[in-house]
């Protein structure tokens, strides 16, 4: 990684995800020397953890606000990515 990499903690989710995809592409290519591969792997793990943290924060925000009919807030419900509703 010849150029200075941006600070992960300051990256948006989208930028971090793009950077993670770039790291994966480079590692999968097999054209990176071993020492650089290890550095890339460490950066990729840091990017993955940053993305997960941002997703967890977004999910927590979604769970706090659930709008009922007419747009009124009716309370908090757990976020279900598959769209199932509770009993």
Higher pLDDT pick, 6 / 33: 33
pLDDT, tens only, 11-69: 999 999 999 999 999 999 999 999 999 999 999 999 999 999 999 999 888 877 766 66
Residue 3: which pLDDT band, with cuts at 50, 70 and 90?
low
CA distance linking residue 33 with residue 25, whole number of Å? 14
Please give the pLDDT value at position 13: 96
CA distance 57 to 13: 11
Query: pTM of this prediction?
Result: 0.69
Residue ranges of domains in the chain, CATH in brackets: 8-75 (1.10.287)
Residue 70 has pLDDT above 90, yes or no: no
Nearest Cα residue to 8 out of 50, 38, 36: 50
């Amino acid at each position: 990684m010849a150029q200075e990499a941006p600070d992960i903690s300051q990256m948006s989710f989208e930028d971090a995800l793009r950077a993670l995809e770039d790291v994966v592409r480079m590692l999968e290519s097999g054209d990176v020397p071993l020492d650089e591969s290890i550095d890339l792997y460490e950066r990729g793990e840091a990017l993955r953890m940053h993305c997960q943290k941002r997703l967890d924060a977004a999910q927590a925000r979604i769970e706090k606000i659930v709008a009922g009919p007419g747009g009124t807030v009716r309370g908090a419900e757990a976020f279900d990515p598959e769209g199932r509703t509770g009993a």
